[in-house]
């Protein structure tokens, strides 16, 4: 939307964008377009990716909690997640009994006014306070 005014924009986000490379992002696009063909534009924002990440975490927590699911078993299961790989949707996810944030990694992106996309210029990185 910003066009050429965005040419020097650089920002950070903990999520991949709709058009970024990665197995998880490719799968998100394939499934989305299977059920809503022809909807590849306008591009979905990173909040769309967040929905996929949250669903992935939910699935993993339910899987680990097993057949005797209740709140306690679900939370305990989530707290065992270490370095969960979302195949590029976001950086590694980690939970513990004292930390329920889960996601600390981000990528830097630079605007590409020609394509109207944000292109990643780094890999997933931890903020200096978490290194």
Range 72-99 average pLDDT: 97
79 neighbors 97 (Cβ within 8 angstroms)? yes
- Flag the least confident range among 40-49, 105-114, 121-130: 40-49
pLDDT in tens, 4-38: 888 999 999 999 999 899 999 999 999 999 999 88
Range 59-87 average pLDDT: 97
pLDDT in tens, 89-117: 999 999 999 999 999 999 999 999 998 88
Terminal Cα distance for the chain, rounded: 35
- Would you list the domain boundaries of the chain? 17-104
How many Cβ atoms from other residues are within 10 Å of residue 116's Cβ?
A: 15
What distance in Å separates the CA atoms of residue 77 and residue 44, rounded to the nearest whole number? 31
What distance in Å separates the CA atoms of residue 91 and residue 106, rounded to the nearest whole number? 7
């Amino acid at each position: 939307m910003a066009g050429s005014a965005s040419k020097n924009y650089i920002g950070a986000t903990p999520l991949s964008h709709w058009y970024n490379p990665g197995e998880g992002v490719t799968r998100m696009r394939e499934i989305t377009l299977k059920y809503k063909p022809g909807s590849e534009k306008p591009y979905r924002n990173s909040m769309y990716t967040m929905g996929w990440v949250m669903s992935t975490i939910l699935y993993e927590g339910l899987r680990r909690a097993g057949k005797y699911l209740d709140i306690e078993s679900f939370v305990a299961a989530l707290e065992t997640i270490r370095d969960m790989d979302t195949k590029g949707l976001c950086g590694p996810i980690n939970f513990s009994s004292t930390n329920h944030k889960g996601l600390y990694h981000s990528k830097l992106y630079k605007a590409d006014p020609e394509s109207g996309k944000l292109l990643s210029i780094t890999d997933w990185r931890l903020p200096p306070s978490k290194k």
